[in-house]
Amino acid sequence: MAGETDIDALLQPGRGIVLRSEQHQDRAEILELTAQAFSISPVTGQAVEGTPVEVGLLRELFECGEYIPELSIVAEIDGGIVGHVISTRGWVGDEPFLGLGPIGVAPAVQRRGIGSALLQETAERAAAAGEPGIALLGSPGYYPRFGYVPAVSLGVRPPEAGWGDHFQVLALPGWHDGVRGTFRFAAPFGRL
């Protein structure tokens, strides 16, 4: 991968970042990136002992029936994967919906817009596919800048009541009044 100053130049709009669908041969690199990205817990801020849970979750998501290949997106710089996001089939009641995550960015290039680019690309692809929305569990101080709102404000309840405003939804153009009820993530999330 490029050196630190080269990366800053490559992160400029229209320069070396490539966003593309994940390919099967990318998975080992994606899993390693995810291990690095989650080596510090986003919840506690402490170092994670052993392999982060997100690595096992991602491994299962790649193989589950709810996997959607075009919504597993990598960010590349100079041919190296520096970011990844996955969205899988979820449901609000009986309505198809998307569940986002995990999303990971290589520690050396975090806070430089790669995660933002991955979130934007996900929203664009999901909207083009006619999806009604995307749900995620994340920081209420971060995701609203991408249009996410507390899910309950749109009639979508979290799988666990204690999640509160950390459970958020992005309504897409395919949203309709029938999207109401409790959200269910892809099956691997239920084994966490």
| SS3 state of residue 171 | strand
Whether residue 57 is contained in a domain is answered as yes
Summarize pLDDT for 163-174 with one digit per residue, the tens. Answer: 999 999 999 999
Angle subtended at Cα 150 by Cα 144 and Cα 155, rounded to the nearest 5 degrees: 140
Whether residue 191 is contained in a domain is answered as no
Q: Is the pLDDT of residue 4 over 50?
A: no
| SS3 state of residue 110 | coil
Whether residue 79 is contained in a domain is answered as yes
User: At 43, which CATH number?
Assistant: 3.40.630.30
- Quickly state the pLDDT bin for 191 (edges 50, 70, 90): confident
Query: pLDDT higher for 189 or 6?
Result: 189
Q: CA dist 100 to 5, 18, 72, 90, 118, Å?
A: 31, 20, 10, 9, 11
Query: pLDDT higher for 44 or 13?
Result: 44
- Quickly state the pLDDT bin for 41 (edges 50, 70, 90): confident
Give φ, ψ of 147 to 5 degrees: 95, 0
Whether residue 192 is contained in a domain is answered as no
Give φ, ψ of 148 to 5 degrees: -75, 145
Per-residue pLDDT at 9 = 54
Whether residue 121 is contained in a domain is answered as yes
Both tokens of 57, joined, read 């979750």
Cβ pair 83, 115 in contact under 8 A: yes
Bond into 102 cis (ω within 30): yes
Q: In terms of residue numbers, what domain contains 141?
A: 4-186
Q: Is the pLDDT of residue 11 over 70?
A: no
Pairing of strands 80-92, 181-184: antiparallel
- Number of domains within the chain: 1
Distance CA 103, CA 2 (A): 22
Whether residue 108 is contained in a domain is answered as yes
Average pLDDT of the segment spanning 139-155? 96
